[in-house]
Amino acid sequence: MDRIDYINVRQLEIAVRIWHPDAPNTVIAWHGLARHGGDFASLAQQLGPQWRVIAPDTPGRGLSSWSMYPANDYLYSHYVTIALAVLDHYGIERANWIGTSMGGLLGMLLAADDTTAHRIRCLALNDVGPELDGQALAEMATYFSVLKRFSTLSELQQALEQHYQGFGHLSRHEWQQMTLSSARRLPDGSWSFHYDPRIGEQFIHDTPRDTWSDWQRIRCPLMVIRGEHSQLLQAASITRMQQDQPQLETLEAAGCGHAPMLNNAQQVVPLKRFLARHAGISPFPARRPGQWLSDWWQRLIKHRG
């Protein structure tokens, strides 16, 4: 992360993580239910200096404020308000949007509504869609609504590795970094996760809606990434999504469940091409004449050193 900004929306402070702040192109990256914007560090690195990656922490997560009124603030309608505030703050008229799980549903809501659809240029959904497995959703709501308490930080890391196996292959360093960014100390010295356990109340207070109808109304370019073993987004749903949106681009992330971490070339390269195509840029910057020779010479020196 190169910078962090803070945006006030009503009584809440929204922390916004930014990579490559001076890049010529921008993508909004929005995290899943109980995660935070820091999850996009590897994606930002692999997208490279062409892309400014703006990744907000939703209220109740990461570095953003916790709400004293979850029934009012931990709702998609309020997340839409926050998303628009983020776009306005950075002067983004039309956003390239990547959303993991909850962040993807938020992007769908923006792209499907007549009053906000013009704010989304293209939308990439990471293991989410208009139809989600009910049992998997119930398990998520139950898990995240209970305060987790660990005696040691290593116990917290073990719990992370077990619960987030669906992220796919992460190196030991990546798990350690995730642990550091996911932990908070409790008053008695024990450890818990960074998020407010009351975020799960959105499953109670949010108004159900016809998300297939939302899906059919979307007119921007679309891509969906599904974890090969995802229990939340079923393969049959992808088929129906393609029927409703024939131009939909799809990618199955091998070895992943819910939700791919977007941390390797198999996932990032197609995503980068999708973003570049609809932003009207080359996905891989052209090299200057003779640049290959300079790059080769630098690699040789580094290797010998």
Between CA 250 and CA 241 the distance in angstroms is 10
Q: How far apart (Å, rounded) are the C-alpha atoms in residues 228 and 231?
A: 9
198 assigned to some structural domain: no
Is position 76 within any domain?
yes
Residue 207 pLDDT level (bands cut at 50, 70, 90): confident
Residue 29, domain extent: 3-134+203-304
pLDDT in tens, 64-101: 999 999 999 999 999 999 999 999 999 999 999 999 99
Residue 214, in any domain of the structure? yes
pLDDT of 279: 85
Domain membership of residue 20 (yes or no) is yes
> Is 38 inside any structural domain?
yes
Whether the model pTM is above 0.75: yes
284 vs 127: which has the higher pLDDT: 127
In a domain, 151, yes or no: no
Whether residue 186 is contained in a domain is answered as no
The pLDDT value given to residue 280: 76
Give how many domains the chain has, as a whole number: 1
Tens digits of residue pLDDT in 125-179: 999 999 999 999 999 989 999 999 999 999 999 999 999 999 999 999 999 999 9
CATH number at residue 23: 3.40.50.1820
Residue 38 in this model has a pLDDT that exceeds 70? yes
- Is 36 within 8 Å of 256 (Cβ atoms)? no
**61 in a domain, yes or no?**
yes
Could you tell me the CA-to-CA distances from 61 to 78, 172, 184, 196, 255 in Å, in that order? 14, 24, 11, 6, 27
Burial label, 8 (beta-carbon count in 10 A; 0-12, 13-18, 19+): exposed
Q: Where are the beta strands (DSSP E) in the chain?
A: 3-9, 12-19, 25-30, 51-56, 95-100, 120-126, 183-185, 191-193, 222-227, 249-253
